[in-house]
Structure 1
């Protein structure tokens, strides 16, 4: 049996009744976490540009845009995926290195709203989408991640599965859905060299392409039946590991969504370990940045490949600078959404501390990545004393968890500009999502979800 066939059989067989209560509750937390990021990102210029393009392209008003108004189901996924990724507060999975929320949830929401599916059906689809894309991401990582943005590539499969589940596709149709998803999977890291806007295009296009793949399969459109493990398929083309068998080991016996991590700092996840350590040192020892002569950060190679930038020239680039994020945390005592600003970008104190930050690869940490995302931070003070602290798991990982209440507070902070009745509507709807008969009710005009 092909890998695609095994995934298709798993997806068609998954029912809400099978899901443990903790999986249902956790999935709703993921949705609320996604929603806060989408609200916070909707007004950002790159997302507005994409919304303008969606308006110019037109299409039936099938689903709601987080930027306002309605558009086709594919355009809604495109815009909403981008909106949920841009503020760098979306969820992440360590082993697969995927921000699944930004691709699976906007695709599932758009189709569920359009097809008037229930909250139970939406939860089913999201669980299935996370499961499949995480398994694919694990099998091709870490080598895939050097050139390819896993959220864009592997995430396309998750969006396709979620859309196909909601469209009621059978096994054969889902095999073709995965085939069309895989042949569209793309997203190169080269954009990071310029600090370009492509990172927002990646999850939006992955969500959009996933829906397109499912819609084509529904009409009888065929695609590669072994897109994942085939001789010219996804794994062989885009990874040095080529471990397709790993993808389906234990399929159906676990729920990968429960391995999801949540972000509490508004920057690249590869900077969070250092931020956490700095904030813990400040809390425990009342450190002032003025007393610090040198900061040494040791971590795994991928973290430096993505975030070794000693002189970021934009606010967005600063989110991908380990030096900047470390200095920001030391000077400001936080690294939230509002801490990253034009004013803070060239803050003399932050720039002064940045010049004292050294980054390096630790071979042992590097060997354990991506199972652990480790860092050690060592501070050397002006009096010659030192302070060192290590972590294996950034805050928000399952091994270092945040609570549902923490995610509620995060949502409230990210949706602060919304009317209070809209915020209350959102919280109530997510809380009782499995009781909602029609997902379109989530988008009640004038109340919530724009």
Structure 2
């Protein structure tokens, strides 16, 4: 049975048996996710989640809530930190499941690991487990799952978070299967946010993380869940997908690991816009573009899904802007390069960005890979250029290195951390097995600038 097989895998995975390259990829993704978490502490979604937790009078506990630098239960800390991390448009993505595992899994292992005083190796193994379960379930139900209106980060992320929390709490296979069964009644998230850029997209990762911790805690107190929750006649796969592949749940588990199949975004944007932003930046330099006024037209040849879903020419929210191809290209034109930072409302209203939105035109190209594109720029003086990127930097097949992600971390956190506080966090992740999770959380807190 698939649910029990995943539960056995989650409970029995051994740090010593993991290939060093897999541990290293998990470490790189952890650093990347922590950069997004820290950068997001200045944004609205994280503050909204932190304010809600405070209003419920549930502050105080064993885990750090980084927005506001307060304390909370592992459940509440996972919720706020996931909302904060996922709100930043630079977190990782698993393209086959079209989900964002870091936003759901990292806050869970950080909160439960800090609360329990876990060793660093325990966090890394639980993180690998969470990515594996979440992404395999996504593979099994896609693409029908999303076509029916579900958001895999919220739905599949709940299972991944439950698996990660179960591992952090030391569950055996039976307990883990039970927690997955409970998670099945919590897995939710509708893709309708894409219509107007509503922030429920960010909420989905937060609720997935929170529900994953909750499922494990409920298991500890005796609640039961169906141990056929994934493959059963009335289970998750059949309920949420018209055409699912049950074998994908367990086929060649860990060969390779799903964390190795997960991409890291090198700069701001959604996965559908990363290649176009990078190509535009290349052309800006090649054509010596000094101002957006130099541009007459930008044409983007892209996959049919991108041409359909990412063509918003006048986004009204920050999330809509992240998903908008015209906005991401106009942002590069206005700044002269790609942006490795979180964006705020002032960026959305930037007149230099808005002036270029109408100059961008998307053209469907059925030969283009899902996340590739070709960008052509025509200048007002008649000069033109074209740049094609079929596999963006940061894709699983073209991954960022530790040093590249460390540099991204520095740029992401420049506005929220003291300059002298950045390197100790990077070092704490690098030596996580030696120092443990509480030391990592403490280094993050010590490096943060005071909240104004």
In the superposition, the TM-score normalised over structure 2's length comes to: 0.91
Equivalent residues of 1:297, 1:375 under 8 A apart? yes
The one of 185, 209, 218 equivalent to 1:183 is: 185
Equivalent residues of 2:144, 2:244 under 8 A apart? no
The aligned runs of 1:17-416 (5 Å cut-off) are: 17-59=16-58, 61-67=61-67, 68-146=69-147, 147-287=149-289, 289-337=292-340, 340-365=343-368, 369=370, 373-382=371-380, 386-416=384-414
Q: Find the aligned partners of 1:100 and 1:325 in 2 and give their Cα distance.
A: 23
Offset of 1:352 from its aligned partner? 3.5
Q: Find the aligned partners of 1:3 and 1:65 in 2 and give their Cα distance.
A: 35
Q: Find the aligned partners of 2:218 and 2:341 in 1 and give their Cα distance.
A: 42
Offset of 1:347 from its aligned partner? 4.2
Offset of 1:11 from its aligned partner? 1.1
Offset of 1:421 from its aligned partner? 4.5
Q: Find the aligned partners of 1:383 and 1:419 in 2 and give their Cα distance.
A: 45
How many matched pairs?
Answer: 443
Change (3 A) 1:290 1:23: same
Equivalent residues of 2:312, 2:326 under 8 A apart? yes
Q: Find the aligned partners of 2:24 and 2:346 in 1 and give their Cα distance.
A: 39
* 1:145-170 alpha-carbon deviations (Å, 9 max, x no partner): 24222111111111111100111111
- Secondary structure at 2:361 match in 1: strand
Long gaps (5+) in structure 1: none
* 1:154-206 alpha-carbon deviations (Å, 9 max, x no partner): 11111111100111111111111111112211111222333222122111110
Offset of 1:266 from its aligned partner? 1.8
Residue aligning to 1:441: 439
- C-alpha RMSD of the superposition: 2.2
* 1:369-416 alpha-carbon deviations (Å, 9 max, x no partner): 4xxx12222233446665333222222113333221111111112222
Offset of 1:8 from its aligned partner? 1.0
Q: Find the aligned partners of 1:90 and 1:177 in 2 and give their Cα distance.
A: 26
Residue aligning to 1:16: 15
* 1:263-289 alpha-carbon deviations (Å, 9 max, x no partner): 122222221111111112223343454
Q: Find the aligned partners of 1:303 and 1:160 in 2 and give their Cα distance.
A: 32
Q: Find the aligned partners of 2:175 and 2:448 in 1 and give their Cα distance.
A: 31
Q: Find the aligned partners of 1:56 and 1:349 in 2 and give their Cα distance.
A: 39
* 1:42-95 alpha-carbon deviations (Å, 9 max, x no partner): 121221121121123244502111111111110000000011011211111111
Q: Find the aligned partners of 2:349 and 2:437 in 1 and give their Cα distance.
A: 45
Q: Find the aligned partners of 2:388 and 2:23 in 1 and give their Cα distance.
A: 33
Long gaps (5+) in structure 2: none
Q: Find the aligned partners of 1:284 and 1:142 in 2 and give their Cα distance.
A: 38
Equivalent residues of 1:426, 1:449 under 8 A apart? no
Q: Find the aligned partners of 1:179 and 1:341 in 2 and give their Cα distance.
A: 39
